[in-house]
Amino acid sequence: MRWDVIFQSKHLAMYGEGLITTLWLLLSSLGVGAVLALLFALALTSSIAPLRWIVGAYTYVIRGTPLLIQLYLIYYGLGQLEWIQARWDEVWPWTHFKEPFFCALLAFSLNTAGYTAEMLAGAIRETPAGEIEAAQAMGMGRAQAMRRIVLPSALRRTLPAYSNEVVMMLHATSLASTVPAMLDVTAAASRIYSDFYLPFEAYIFAAAIYLTITFTLVGMFKLAERRFLAHLAPRAH
Amino acid sequence: MSGYFVSILQGALLTVGVSLAALVVAILLGLLGAVAKLSGRPLLVVPATVYTTLVRGVPELVLMLLIFYGGTIGLNHLLAALGSKSSVDINPFLAGTLTIGFIYGAYMTETFRGAILSIPKGQMEAAWAFGMGPVRTFLRITAPQMVRYALPGFTNNWLVLIKATALVSLIGLKEMTYLSKQASAATREPFTFFLFAAALFLVYTSVSLWALRRLERRFSLGVKRAQT
């Protein structure tokens, strides 16, 4: 074991840069994914059948195929399509398809949106009928009841399942290392492996970083659950 | 062009092979882990807890690279220490199967542990009262009943496991994803080939989902469902 190589300042700096990329990818894909997921969940539970079918098909395909292939489809695949190639030199949103970070972010956001939308839709469907009836009795319309009653309680009930999804997403960001020119924690470890032929040290150090972030996230969600799901906890005697 | 599609289809068979072999490893490890965690003996509980915590806290890809590259070097060091001059390359099929099985064994441990805990304790006590030993109790009483409780979690784990086999392409196993990447590079039509691979994965996961739903119905026979 030659841990001194890992702890050289320039290699630590490489891991640090990777850590920033990993966290940035995680936070931005969760942010974009959450907005999409909310819209998709509303579509999945709406009364408009075609909307339900389209979004249902979307989540089925996203959840039935590997993220690695979705990433390849966006990073390598979209660049081949002529209508994107024709635009990606000048027209604004398309210019981003040349950037690896944007492609990874797009793949991860679309992926987490698919999973989160199904969780959220489940929680919306499970809203106790009495709560909705009470809202109607108070004279609230569909949108108002959704905004004031259904969504606040559904979002809280999604919290435990969502904490799993966030940890899964953290682990999924390691796939960014398969895109050339992306330097996340896993890619930093792979570079040290290929430069020094030290697989144990390089990947164990990366694993320790991921483990630390995982524990931090799980701890944060435990605190959030204690705060937001206090009303569901067993009653103290 | 069609030659590439045929070779990707052959790779799909390999994907099925890797995932089924990994599933067997994962089920065995999951049962061992669940029994160890429920045994209450610190000597068994501690290693099982370390196993599930570490594996579920680290990305599959990092574990896979660690086990594949680390395992190759470790094995060669071991051979050198034993005085052998030849070096070995780990077979990517074996490495991928063992790694994926090892990772999903940790998830299965939690699924099986929860399922065993859901079985009323009286069932086991009745078996002991009839003079059954621990092994017979497990095989005749616990195992058949835990299937129903374990199936939803098992289904999730299995679907994630199937999709994780795409990662094996990164350590050089020539399965579906690897071959579609090669076909993409050779023909410069990545969209077509990755879409084809995605469709094959979707077929595989859909068939699994359908089969497991039937299994769930089979193992829920005789369970009363309340009308809502």
Terminal-residue alpha carbon distance, chain A: 54
The most confident of the ranges B28-37, B62-71, B90-99, B219-228 is B28-37
**pLDDT tens, position by position, B74-104:** 888 888 888 877 777 778 898 889 999 999 9
User: What is the rounded distance in angstroms from the CA atom of residue A175 to the CA atom of residue A195?
Assistant: 20
The three-state secondary structure class of A208 is helix
Distance CA(B195)–CA(B5), nearest Å, equals: 11
Q: Is A219 on the interface with B (CB under 8 A)?
A: no
Q: Is B59 on the interface with A (CB under 8 A)?
A: yes
Q: Name every chain B residue with its beta carbon within 8 A of the beta carbon of A70.
A: 198
Task: For residue B170, list chain A residues with Cβ-Cβ distance below 8 A.
Answer: 178
Predicted pLDDT of residue A204: 94
Average pLDDT for B133-156: 90
Long-range contacts of B73-79 (CB under 8 A, 24+ apart): B73/A197, B73/A199, B73/A200, B74/A200
Q: Say what the pLDDT of residue B200 is.
A: 95
B56 to chain A, closest Cα gap in Å: 9
Q: Contact at 8 Å (CB) between B219 and B148? A: yes
Which residues does chain B have within 8 Å of residue A128's beta carbon, measured at their own beta carbons?
A: none
Please say if the pLDDT value at position B226 is more than 70.
no
Residues in chain A within 8 Å Cβ distance of B179 = none
Residue B188 φ/ψ, nearest 5 degrees: 60, 35
Residues of chain A falling short of pLDDT 70 = 237
- Given a cut of 70, whether residue B227 has pLDDT beyond it is no
Is B130 strand, coil or helix? Answer: coil
CA trace torsion B89, B92, B95, B100 (10° rounding): 160
| A164 token code pair | 């799993």
For chain B, the average pLDDT equals 90
Taking the Cβ of residue A203 and every Cβ of chain B, the question of whether any pair is shorter than 8 Å is answered with yes
Nearest-CA distance A171 → chain B (Å): 4
Q: How far apart are CA A79 and CA B197, in angstroms?
A: 18
pLDDT-above-70 percentage for chain B: 98
Reported as a single tens digit per residue, the pLDDT across B16-28 is 999 999 999 999 9
- B91 Cα distance to chain centroid: 18
Least confident of A62-76, B41-55, B65-79: B65-79
Mutation target to probe the B interface, by most B beta carbons within 10 A, among A65, A118, A125, A165 is A65
**CB contact (8 A) between residue B198 and residue A186:** no
DSSP classification of residue A146 = I
Q: What angle do CA A190, A192, A193 make, to 5 degrees?
A: 60
pLDDT beyond 90 at B203: yes
Write the residue in A76, A178, A210 that is nearest to B62 by C-beta: A210
Instruction: Quote ipTM for the complex.
Output: 0.89
- Is pLDDT of B115 > 80? yes
How many contacts does A have with B, using Cβ atoms within 8 A? 120
Q: Nearest CA to A187 among A21, A75, A1?
A: A21
pLDDT higher than threshold 90 for residue B219: no
Q: Which residues of A, range 52-71, sit inside 8 Å of B by Cβ?
A: 61, 63-70
State yes or no: pLDDT of B44 exceeds 90. yes
Task: Identify from B54, B90, B181, B191 which residue to disrupt to test chain A contact, counting A C-beta atoms within 10 A and taking the largest count.
Answer: B191
Q: Are A217 and A170 in contact (CB under 8 A)?
A: yes
Q: What is the pLDDT of residue B193?
A: 92
Q: Do B205 and A68 touch (CB under 8 A)?
A: no
Please determine, for residue B131, whether its predicted confidence score (pLDDT) is greater than 70.
Answer: yes
Question: According to DSSP H, which parts of chain B are helical?
Answer: 2-39, 42-57, 60-65, 71-81, 92-118, 121-129, 134-137, 143-164, 176-187, 190-219
CA distance A112 to A31: 10
